[in-house]
C-alpha cells in the first residue's frame, strides 16, 4: 500500500496557492465555515467545537476562512470574530454580501448603499479592519452589476477590502449536460472586469458536480481569476460517512436536496466506492481523495470544504499532501455521473 506524508504527521502544513489577480497567498485548502452556524442540522452545532475547528485549521495552515453575513444570519461572522481577535495575522478572511435572509425566503440586494453598510457591519462582527476577499453572494437582477461592483471597488480604495470575488452558486442551465450552466455568470464576470479586477469566482466543483470544468474554470484560468471550489465534498456525500435512507433533520438543506433522497444516495454509491478504491491505495480517506481531485483540476483551484469539528478540519488539511497520479484521475473520470431528481 502506498504511503503519503500528509496522513501520518501530527500537524500538516498545507501547500500555498494564490488568489487570482490579487496574487494573495493562502493555504491550498480552505475552510467553509457555513456548517458551523447555518443550513445543516442545528442540533449538531456546537460553538466551542466550531472555535476549535477554526483554530485547528489555522494550526495546519488552512488560512482561507470562508463565511458570509447571511450565515446565521450574522452569527457565523461573530463566531469567526472571536478567533480573529486573537489570530488575525494567520488568517485570510473571505466573506460575502448581497443576500438577505428572511423567515421564508432569501432575496438579493446589490444596491451600492447597502453593499457599503453591509461591509462595515461585517468588519465589526469579524473584529477586523480589513476583509481580505469580499464576494458578491448573488447578482441582484434589479441592479446593474456595474453599480454593485463599483461600490465594492470603492471599498478596496477605502482600504476596507483587499480583493473582490463573485459567487456562481445556484447557476442555471442544463445540469444533465452542463450546457449553459455558467453562461450568465461568465457574462457578469466580463462586465465586472471592466469596472475592477475580479480576483476569484466561487462555484460548486466536485467529483459529483464537475460542470464548472466545461466553461467556467477555463474562463477563470484564461483570465487569471482564482477559483474557490465550493462543496468539494458534495455536501458530505463524498466523505462516504452518510448512510442512504439515514434521513436529515428538517432544517438541514440536504433534506430537500434532490441527490439526498434514499433512492438517489443508493444510486450514487458507485461514486463513493470508486473514490474509496483510490483512497485505499494511499491509506487515505474518500474525502481526501475528493479534495485532491479538486486541487488537481488547475493551479488556481482552492477547495473550501465545509466543516465544523477539529477532526475534519485536520483531515481536510492533510489532503493537500496527496498527489493523485494520472491513472488515478482517469479512474475517477470514468466513474458514473451523479444522478438526481432532474435525471
Q: Which residues are catalytic?
A: 71
DSSP 269-331: HHHHHHHHHHHHHHT--HHHHHHHHHHHT-TTEEEE-B--SHHHHHHHHHGGG----HHHHHH
Residue at grid coordinates 449536460: 177
With contact defined as beta carbons under 8 Å apart, do 15 and 223 qualify?
no
Q: Which three cell numbers stand for residue 302?
A: 482552492
Ordered DSSP codes for 51-70: HHHHHHHHHTT--EEE--TT
| Rounded Cα–Cα distance for residues 131 and 199 (Å) | 14
Phi, psi of 43 (to 5 degrees): -65, -20
36, 99, 101, 31: which is closest to 66 by C-alpha? Answer: 31
Phi, psi angles (nearest 5°) of residue 308: -135, 10
| DSSP bridge partners of 7 | none
24-27 and 16-19 beta bridge pairing:
antiparallel
- Cell digits for 133? 476577499
Here the cell at position 70 is 447571511
H/E element, 135: strand 131-136
Amino acid at each position: 500500500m502506498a504511503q503519503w506524508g500528509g496522513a501520518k504527521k501530527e500537524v500538516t502544513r498545507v501547500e500555498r496557492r494564490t488568489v487570482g489577480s490579487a496574487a494573495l497567498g493562502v493555504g491550498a485548502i480552505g475552510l467553509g465555515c457555513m456548517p458551523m452556524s447555518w443550513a445543516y442540522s442545528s442540533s449538531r452545532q456546537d460553538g466551542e467545537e466550531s472555535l476549535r475547528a477554526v483554530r485547528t485549521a489555522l494550526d495546519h495552515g488552512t488560512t482561507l476562512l470562508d463565511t458570509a453575513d447571511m450565515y446565521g444570519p450574522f452569527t457565523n461572522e461573530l463566531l469567526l470574530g472571536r478567533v480573529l481577535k486573537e489570530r488575525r495575522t494567520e488568517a485570510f478572511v473571505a466573506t460575502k454580501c448581497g443576500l438577505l435572509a428572511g423567515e421564508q425566503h432569501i432575496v438579493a440586494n446589490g444596491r451600492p448603499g447597502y453593499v457599503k453598510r453591509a461591509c462595515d457591519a461585517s468588519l465589526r462582527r469579524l473584529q477586523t479592519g480589513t476583509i481580505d476577499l469580499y464576494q458578491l453572494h448573488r447578482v441582484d437582477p434589479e441592479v446593474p452589476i456595474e453599480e454593485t461592483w463599483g461600490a465594492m471597488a470603492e471599498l478596496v480604495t477605502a482600504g476596507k477590502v483587499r480583493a473582490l470575488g463573485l459567487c456562481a452558486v445556484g447557476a442555471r442551465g442544463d445540469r444533465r449536460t452542463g450546457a449553459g450552466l455558467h453562461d450568465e455568470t461568465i457574462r457578469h464576470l466580463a462586465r465586472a472586469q471592466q469596472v475592477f479586477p475580479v480576483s476569484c469566482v466561487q462555484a460548486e466543483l466536485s467529483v459529483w458536480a464537475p460542470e464548472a470544468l466545461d466553461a467556467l474554470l477555463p474562463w477563470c484560468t484564461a483570465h487569471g481569476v482564482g477559483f474557490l471550489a465550493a462543496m468539494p465534498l458534495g455536501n458530505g456525500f463524498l466523505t462516504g460517512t452518510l448512510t442512504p435512507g439515514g434521513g436529515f433533520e428538517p432544517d438541514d438543506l440536504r433534506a430537500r436536496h434532490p441527490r439526498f433522497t434514499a433512492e438517489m444516495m443508493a444510486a450514487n454509491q458507485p461514486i463513493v466506492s470508486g473514490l474509496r478504491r483510490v483512497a485505499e491505495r494511499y491509506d487515505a480517506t474518500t474525502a481526501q481523495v475528493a479534495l485532491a481531485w479538486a486541487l488537481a483540476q488547475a493551479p488556481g483551484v482552492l477547495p473550501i470544504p465545509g466543516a465544523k469539528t477539529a477532526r475534519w478540519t485536520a483531515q481536510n488539511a492533510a489532503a493537500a499532501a496527496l498527489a493523485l497520479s494520472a491513472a488515478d484521475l482517469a479512474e475517477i473520470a470514468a466513474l458514473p455521473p451523479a444522478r438526481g431528481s432532474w435525471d
